[in-house]
Amino acid sequence: MKLCPCGSSLPRRDLVDARGIFCAFVCDFCEPHKRACYRPEIFTDPNYWTDEPIETGGLPMSEKTIAIILIGPGGELDRKKIIVNDDDDMSETSVAICNAIEEAMEEWVLSPGDTIKIEEISEQ
Ligand SMILES: [Zn+2]
């Protein structure tokens, strides 16, 4: 049995969406964190992509800042910020956020009880 890449020493399993598409390796410890960076409907609605309007206009790209915040029992311990294109395909944004979470989880020493919060912050 292979262990989860998050470092928890728990066995890994596949996190798949409603269409059976592989999203990430997860365990009991990191599954809530990793799920947090996908839209919830991809796990419940197999048609999640087809019912979305596709924008092909030439709108200027706008950016948004996403903070990945590590919260311990006593409050915030650390945070990382990434900038993603707001107009991007949601799946690309999700991938960027997931990669950032995975990087953060490699760097942070997580203890049971710590949580990771994803927050969109506005910074102009
Ligand atoms: Zn894990």
Mean pLDDT per 10-residue interval, the chain, length 124 residues:
89 93 90 84 80 54 86 92 77 79 84 84 68
Please tell me the distance from the alpha carbon of residue 77 to that of residue 7, in angstroms, as a whole number. 19
Between the CA of 36 and the centroid of ligand 1 the distance, in Å, is 13
In a domain, 42, yes or no: yes
| Number of folded domains that form the chain | 1
In a domain, 29, yes or no: yes
pLDDT of residue 62: 78
In a domain, 68, yes or no: yes
Between the CA of 109 and the centroid of ligand 1 the distance, in Å, is 13
In a domain, 5, yes or no: no
C-alpha distances in Å from residue 121, one per residue of 4, 9, 48: 30, 33, 26
In a domain, 55, yes or no: no
Range of the domain at 25: 13-48+62-121
pLDDT of residue 116: 84
In a domain, 56, yes or no: no
In a domain, 17, yes or no: yes
Between the CA of 28 and the centroid of ligand 1 the distance, in Å, is 7
